[in-house]
Amino acid sequence: MSHAERLRGLLAGPAFIAPGCYDPFTALLVEQAGFPCAYLSGASVAFTRLGRPDIGLTTLTEVADVVGNIRDRIDLPLIVDGDDGFGNAINVQRAVRLFERRGASAIQLEDQAAPKRCGHLDGKRLVSTAEMRGKLRAALDARQDAATVIVARTDAIAVEGLEAGLDRAAAYLEAGADVLFIEALQTREQLAEAGRRFGARVPLLANMVEGGKTPMLPLPELAGLGFRIAIYPGAMVRVLGHAAREYLRVLRAEGSTLSHRAHMLDFTQLNALIGTDAMLRDGQKYDPGNG
């Protein structure tokens, strides 16, 4: 069974969480923690690869490189944030083909106009509904694996209001989207309305952003409202950024990490996490004299 087929199996079952990651190391942490799926956050790629905000600076090939490196390390289904498809419908098709080859199980596309920005920032602009429907049809036609999931995201609520956002979501579902992502719902009531409109018809994705525009609700409550997937796209960066700042504060103040050891993995623990011993054993099979 392909990773995309496994993801479709997940979408047919109970609600689940897909934690955000941004490289093979953080994806490995997600897998080892027992989650069934990982989410490659475009914002987190911008934060960590460029040290810049999520305002459309990353390129298709930069994201594709990350996808390939993650797929080489983990066996989980991987949802890939494809931003606005990096251009028009033809660019969308190239992105879908490239992401599939690198190991994406699902590809998320949004209806923002370039340059796009984080869904929880103000000042977003949209392409027309018709243009986005064309991009979605292009994505569906470009799939090499019919199981690859196409996630349609609309950012219209912040620009045009709730009803316009729900209308766009309906149009994207009609165009063939496999999952709907209605970004930046602002109240529990708005989440509930989205669930009433679409929860019985298509898997819905909820974006949980600490300090963002959408209320943070636990998975059972989101499931009760009709959502099938909850993503935490940038939480990994926020957690590790917080921990790293504290480590650096201690190191600068004390000139050593001795007092911080309880908050770190040591050399042996880190090598155990990434599987160093097993990899060295595998390499020994190919040493001279063992063939």
Q: What is the DSSP letter of 289?
A: T
pLDDT 10s digits, 64-85:
999 999 999 999 999 999 999 9
Nearest to 155, CA basis, from 119, 200, 188, 197? 119
Nearest to 76, CA basis, from 15, 20, 28, 11? 28
Average pLDDT over residues 237-244: 98
- SS3 assignment, position 168: helix
> What is the rounded distance in angstroms from the CA atom of residue 281 to the CA atom of residue 291?
14
Q: Is the pTM of this model over 0.85?
A: yes
Residue 291 has pLDDT above 70, yes or no: no
- CATH 3.20.20.60 intervals, the chain: 3-240
Paired residues of 154 in beta bridges: 182
Write down the mean pLDDT value for the chain.
97
- The dihedrals phi and psi of 148, each to the nearest 5 degrees, come to -55, 130
CB 156 within 8 A of CB 164: yes
In CATH, the number for domain 3-240 is 3.20.20.60
First vs last C-alpha separation in the chain? 32
pLDDT 10s digits, 81-138:
999 999 999 999 999 999 999 999 999 999 999 989 898 989 899 999 999 999 999 9
Q: Tokens 């989440």 label which residue?
A: 191
